Chain A
């Protein structure tokens, strides 16, 4: 269907179902129960799941297929965001033009960065991209303050009146899709469960499904084959008389445009941009997402993005008071002991927990979460050697060195 083979159709169907049903899946615990802490089905986090999913899918096109490790991908996200917010401020409050603008600006920027950085490969390429990203961050933070708002960033103000809008004087514009407010949502309550359906989330979700589809098509295309050839042995490719540069540059720009798309969507969901979005830790985060989920696989980066964002937003909010509630039923001594043991790993210690999990994944599941899923799957299915597993196929690529 849609030019996909059976397995890929299945994969995209699963992703589509997950995206549509996310408000249910992510809210498994009733409101007010002790476990409600682990519910992730609120609009902001769901939006982040899919937006960072897009970001990671795009990053994976570059890293997973060609093996070029860009360490400055957050710069494209940031540049796309700035492009998008200026569009909202000046042109129209409709999110479509601003998202498109985000993609275009990020694409142009990626072309410039890629043109320079792709002259080198391996570690030199990584360092070059990192340098570009840090440069953009520093510029946005201070020198370019008139354009980027500096430290405080950009927001839609009451003084902004976009070209194609008729706001009352003093009214603060809201991002919308043909009049549909991105922040509007309706809630369904069933028993003790509360499910939130948010407009912005579903827009981002649809875009992610499209982005995912496009990524499958690119991966399966002759162009994708070429990229994998670059990964497995670029020298041999050169000796056969093929110039790899146009291919790497093309995928670098595509990957940058994915990041710009994610940036544009972030602005559409939450009309604010700050320069930290381009900081090197943000670039590192997308690398982690991809590796954690399974580099080179199709769905891995999306899983990794969800995993990291979940840790960041849910685990970081568990404080001592909540722990005390959980362990309140235990005898005092044991309660204190448990709190002392668990406390360093939650709240501000979420980085520590994430780091441990990351280590565990890299050591025991080198193929990322996807490999974990496959291993579990294998336990249940005995005869799966025959079927050519798309994910395993792609994951195998990963283990081959980049150069």
Chain B
């Protein structure tokens, strides 16, 4: 957005006189000249935009994200117990806001629709003067808002988005993602599957018929076929499907002995429930126990599927039961404030907010290019995922991936997943060029 305005304070006196004359003062100067980027914070506060789904299918994740952001703002402004700021390896943050400016925020509802998300993000940028937008709980929204931020010249810190595209073919210089992706899920799951289920399996995929589903199916297929598994069939299911019985029945006839559910949210809850009700897990096929795999797990989904998740493998970005210092500090301050443990969506959003603030401090400016430079190839620790790298080529974080399993004997309604394996980052790292796309140049706007 190229916008121009009169110098702010200097003209107030003059325009007090001119205001009565209506459209006087047609002269205007290139305003942001003094700062050189969109929405440069001028006063003693800085505004961040938290754009999360507050209505629609992912409203629950959105609410948890917003809680995490409020906690992050509190910590950045020096309130609360400081949470992960104390365990974060970079010590640039002082608890006095960002670069001495108090952090304020505006919120918006993405409705999990690209249009609504962009409208909301635009109003944050155009009206509220937000210098960074963050949040979201779906890849479609993340890609749409990321492109908007690239055009407008502000930083986008993605929330929960798992599709390869966000930092693959749709990557942008102004966008950053801390969450892991489909490729990493596949790579992390493969060794565990091989160890537990052997290398001689026949897999049947049910895939949600949209972008995230495709990339996840492809990732799991590639990594399991490398083990020697055979893919019998891959069937696409409509996103709006709620009853999957008609998709489950053919699985039994296909001769497959593993069912992969590339579903997320309500889809996964329903398809898994159907599969278990059909007794798939009690079946013996090809002399082996029939197994089900869910590549992307979240605690909220496990809660929805109830007892059906027991013993089922999947991957996740973070889980509150992790015992490192960072996770413990985060779970403690989140739990103290809200009374229950945070979800992985909350974690990634909290971390993104802190990483942004830290990058501004280290880069010495709110300018998106300075922030991008500070985050590029940035290595950090103490944020709950072990040593992590923000790769410069595609602005994707590389860190350990958790392989989890539905817990057999949960102790509480939050204690639904157990960590089976922490797959080291090296094993899930890939070459930045494999998904195509072009990062482009950072755009400071103005």
Contact = CB atoms under 8 A, between A and B. Distances in A.
Interface of A: 39, 42-45, 48, 138, 141-143, 145, 150-153, 155, 157-159, 170, 172, 174, 181, 183-194, 196, 270, 272, 274, 276-277, 279, 312-313, 316-317, 319, 321, 347-348, 350-351
Contacts of B144: 152-153, 155, 272, 274
Given A186-B4, A186-B28, A272-B144, A277 B115 contact: yes
Contact of B3 (A44, A157, A186): A186
Contacts, number: 157
Interface in B95-117: 105-109, 113-116
B212 A191 contact: no
A317 B15 contact: no
B263 to A, nearest CB: 14
Nearest to A41: B127
B154 to A, nearest CB: 13
Contacts of A321: 105
Given A181-B2, A183-B2, A48 B119 contact: yes
Given A152-B211, A187-B6, A317 B123 contact: yes
Contacts of B6: 187-189
Contact of A348 (B54, B115, B210): B54
B120 A317 contact: yes
Contacts of A185: 1-4
A286 B413 CA distance: 42
For the side of the interface on B, what is the size category?
Answer: 35 or more
B12 A313 contact: no
B74 to A, nearest CB: 11
Contact of B438 (A45, A48, A142, A170): A170
B114 A276 contact: yes
B5 A151 contact: no
A282 to B, nearest CB: 8
A42 B121 CA distance: 12
A349 to B, nearest CB: 9
A155 B28 CA distance: 32
A142 B238 contact: yes
Given A44-B126, A152-B139, A188-B25, A317 B107 contact: yes
Contacts of B151: 172, 174, 183
A350 B107 CA distance: 13
B375 to A, nearest CB: 21
A316 B109 contact: yes
A183 B113 CA distance: 22
B441 A170 contact: yes
B118 interface: yes
Contacts of A192: 12
A270 B118 contact: yes
Nearest to A274: B114
A268 to B, nearest CB: 14
Nearest to B126: A42
Interface string B21-62: 001011010010000000000000000000000110001000
29 contacts: A42-B123, A42-B127, A138-B240, A141-B210, A145-B214, A150-B210, A150-B214, A152-B139, A152-B170, A155-B144, A181-B2, A183-B2, A184-B3, A185-B4, A186-B4, A186-B5, A186-B28, A187-B3, A188-B28, A189-B6, A189-B8, A189-B15, A272-B144, A276-B113, A316-B108, A316-B109, A347-B54, A348-B54, A348-B109
A174 B6 CA distance: 25
Contacts of B16: 191
B420 interface: no
A81 B244 CA distance: 33
Given A187-B3, A347-B107, A153 B140 contact: yes
A270 B116 CA distance: 12
B4 A151 contact: no
B209 A274 contact: no
B212 A151 contact: yes
Contacts of A170: 438, 440-441
Contacts of A194: 5
A141 B115 contact: no
Contacts of B116: 276, 312
Contacts of B26: 188
B28 A44 contact: no
Contacts of B440: 158, 170, 172
Given A188-B6, A348-B55, A45 B123 contact: yes
A159 B171 CA distance: 13
Nearest to A48: B119
A184 B119 CA distance: 17
Contacts of A143: 209
Contact of B2 (A44, A138, A159, A184): A184
Contacts of B139: 151-152
Contacts of A39: 127
A316 B116 CA distance: 11
Nearest to A193: B19
A209 B31 CA distance: 31
Contacts of A48: 119
Contacts of B115: 274, 276-277
A276 B12 CA distance: 44
B239 interface: yes
A252 to B, nearest CB: 25
B275 interface: no
A42 B152 CA distance: 14
B64 interface: no
Given A153-B114, A172-B440, A189-B8, A274 B140 contact: yes
B85 interface: no
Contacts of B4: 185-187
Given A45-B127, A172-B151, 9 more contacts: A153-B114, A172-B440, A184-B2, A187-B4, A189-B15, A272-B148, A276-B116, A279-B113, A347-B54
Contact of B31 (A187, A276, A277): A187
A152 B143 contact: yes
Interface string B397-420: 000000000000000000000000
Contact of A317 (B108, B165, B170, B214): B108
B211 A150 contact: yes
Contacts of A43: 122, 126
B238 A138 contact: yes
Contacts of B260: none
A152 B236 CA distance: 17
Contact of A159 (B107, B108, B438): B438
B391 to A, nearest CB: 20
